[in-house]
Amino acid sequence: MDLKYSLVKDIPGNKSVIYLIRKDNNLSHFAFTRSELKYITEQIKDGEKQISINSYSKWSYIQVIDKETDLDKQYEKCRRAGSKHSLLLKQHKHNEIVLVDAIEEPGLLYAFAEGLVLGNYCFLKYFGDKTEKKHPLKSILIVSDKLNKQEIDVLKTLNEAVYFVRDMINEPLSFMNAVQFSETVKQLGIPGGLSVEVFNKKKIESLKMGGLLGVNRGSIDPPTFTVMEWMPDNAVNKNPLVLVGKGVVFDTGGLSLKPTQNSMDYMKSDMSGAAAVAGVMYAVAQSKIPVKVIGLLPATDNRPDGNAVAPGDVITMYNGMSVEVLNTDAEGRLILADAISYADKYKPELIIDIATLTGSAALAIGRFGIVGMGNAESRYMKSLVHSGNHVHERIVEFPFWEEFDKLLESNIADLKNIAEREAGAITAGKFLEKFTSYPLIHLDIAGSAFLKKANSYQGKGATAIGVRLLFDFIRNFPNLFDKDG
Ligand code: BES
Ligand code: ZN
Ligand code: ZN
């Protein structure tokens, strides 16, 4: 993404500007003519929230933000307003825009700029007329007394992370098999201090990762297991936080084949969790957050083939447990389970996995958020939920009662990989819980990772949900120690 962000002191006279204002702001010290001011005042009185003025050589856009008691709601309104402006900027072919913060409340202009840039995203690689379709914006100048350079750097880094995570998810399987996935992660322009190691099939075999190998058995491409480590010397945590992402680069369901329409057609997005973890690792390292974080990304496609695992087969997982695979479409939990057991070697303070894991989660809350559950101390989930509300990647916590455990008992193995239809999102999480003795939080993003219809700054296609959430959580991680639970 070649977008430049700069913080400037004064509003340049000759450039197009977006003013973020309250309806009662005094605008007379901005360079409007008397008739423009009159027009703006009348429009605001009429309840207009978005006003555009064309002064031939430049445009002025005024965005009114209403006060709201819930600050998180207000941030979200700003993001959505920013996204609307991204369309206007495209329409009027701006390659540069000045954002003026006339409200001076920290965070509002940040949120507006975030919505504007994320709303600007589009995946054009496979179009013939890319240049016409491309948004021309190249440079954002920010005039604000409240935002500092550090915040703007974070904004830039996170936006970059969301862009490349969306790119990775939107790529079809023909360009994004497991090997290409891990190569792409390696080529992210890895910031100093972040290490990336890719295990190939041979190494995965020598580690006996039976879950990942089992799902890969029907594939013509080898699996990969990517390990990302961010272990800064000044970290506040002794034991790292381990993030695990589901990297199923395409999910046909395997021999338990999915029907194509409305089921298999967008399953290139089944690596959204793994892509999000890669994006978070990039952003955390780039912003030098003083928290030890490990990212584990098991990747493969899931296909039927002569050699594919058949329903009823028993496989032996990385941790030695046996699993009766009754449905080969419940493959995500098999590759995640191996990675979650592998996480034990880091003696993690907490494991968080993020995955497009179940249709059940999508059915429960649709595309509006994330289903979360887990067995970690409550302050961790509280902090995650808080971050979710703050960045509007909201989490709803599902129960994790022990009654669910026995639904996974198999007649012939230590576990089976499916339970009953009811509470399917929870039993998937429960399956994962069996593979570690460390605290686990499981995030199911099946409903919100990939949108068939555009939604404001989330756009159409890949949303990269989880990136902004986990980054915010990790940024606030040091504060977790100061709270009493
Ligand atoms: N990748 C799917 C889950 C999914 C569904 C993601 C819809 C995004 C949108 C997963 O591997 C899957 O197929 N899950 C099965 C599990 C079932 C067989 C227990 C499901 O949810 O139907
Ligand atoms: Zn599946
Ligand atoms: Zn899947």
Of 295, 274, 299, the C-alpha closest to 346 is 295
Helix or strand run (H / E) with residue 133: helix 130-133
CA distances (Å), 150 to each of 138, 147, 478, in order? 20, 8, 18
Judge whether 333 counts as a catalytic residue. Answer: yes
Residue 362, ligand 1, Cβ within 6 A: yes
How many C-beta neighbours within 10 Å does residue 475 have? 17
- If you average pLDDT over residues 22-47, what whole number do you get? 95
Give residue-wise pLDDT tens across range 295-342: 999 999 999 999 999 999 999 999 999 999 999 999 999 999 999 999
- pTM for this model (two decimals): 0.98
**Residue 148 above 90 pLDDT?**
yes
Ligand 1: residue whose CA is nearest its atom 14: 358
Q: What is the pLDDT of residue 482?
A: 55
pLDDT over 70, % of the chain = 99
Mean pLDDT, the chain, whole residue set: 96
Residue 224 phi, psi (nearest 5) = -135, 160
From the CA of 361, the nearest ligand is 1
CA distances (Å), 186 to each of 196, 227, 232, 364, in order? 6, 10, 19, 35
| 453 CA to centre of ligand 3 in angstroms | 21
Tokens 């992402």, residue?
245
Are 457 and 80 in contact by the 8 Å Cβ rule? The answer is yes
Q: Is 441 helix (H, G, I), strand (E, B) or coil?
A: strand
CA distances (Å), 446 to each of 216, 246, 289, in order? 21, 11, 28
Q: What is the distance between the alpha carbons of residues 281 and 286, in angstroms, rounded to a whole number?
A: 8
How many C-beta neighbours within 10 Å does residue 280 have? 32
The CA radius of gyration of the chain, in Å to the nearest whole number, is 24
**Residue 27 above 80 pLDDT?**
yes
What is the architecture of the domain spanning 171-480?
3-Layer(aba) Sandwich (3.40)
**Residue 376 above 70 pLDDT?**
yes
pLDDT over 90, % of the chain = 93
Q: What are the tokens at 330? A: 């419940």
Are 428 and 357 in contact by the 8 Å Cβ rule? The answer is yes
Q: What are the tokens at 233? A: 């010397």
Q: What is the distance between the alpha carbons of residues 427 and 389, in angstroms, rounded to a whole number?
A: 25
Q: Where are the domains of the chain?
A: 4-147, 171-480
Q: What is the pLDDT of residue 58?
A: 94
The best mutation among 301, 303, 329 to test binding of ligand 1, ranked by most ligand atoms within 8 Å of the C-beta, falls on 329
Q: What is the distance between the alpha carbons of residues 444 and 362, in angstroms, rounded to a whole number?
A: 8
Of 322, 37, 13, 42, the C-alpha closest to 141 is 13
Residue 270, ligand 1, Cβ within 6 A: yes
Sorted by sequence, the CB contacts under 8 Å of residue 97 that are 6+ apart come out as 15, 16, 17, 18, 89, 137, 139, 140, 141
131 falls in which pLDDT band (50, 70, 90)? confident
Residue 151, ligand 1, Cβ within 6 A: no
Of 302, 310, 334, 305, the C-alpha closest to 418 is 334
Q: Which atom of ligand 1 is nearest to the CA of 358?
A: 21
Judge whether 84 counts as a catalytic residue. Answer: no
- If you average pLDDT over residues 238-264, what whole number do you get? 96
What is the sign, positive or negative, of the torsion defined by CA atoms of 9, 11, 13, 14?
Answer: positive
- If you average pLDDT over residues 104-113, what whole number do you get? 93
| 352 CA to centre of ligand 1 in angstroms | 19
Q: What is the distance between the alpha carbons of residues 241 and 237, in angstroms, rounded to a whole number?
A: 8
Q: What is the distance between the alpha carbons of residues 135 and 92, in angstroms, rounded to a whole number?
A: 10
Give, in words, the CATH class of 4-147. Answer: alpha beta
The answer to which of 1-5, 64-68, 211-215 has the lowest mean pLDDT is: 1-5
483 falls in which pLDDT band (50, 70, 90)? very low
Give residue-wise pLDDT tens across range 73-96: 999 999 999 999 999 999 999 999
Q: What is the distance between the alpha carbons of residues 372 and 471, in angstroms, rounded to a whole number?
A: 16
Half-sphere exposure of 436 (CA within 13 A, CB side): 32
**Residue 132 above 90 pLDDT?**
no
Residue 327, ligand 1, Cβ within 6 A: yes
Q: What is the distance between the alpha carbons of residues 73 and 67, in angstroms, rounded to a whole number?
A: 10
191 falls in which pLDDT band (50, 70, 90)? confident
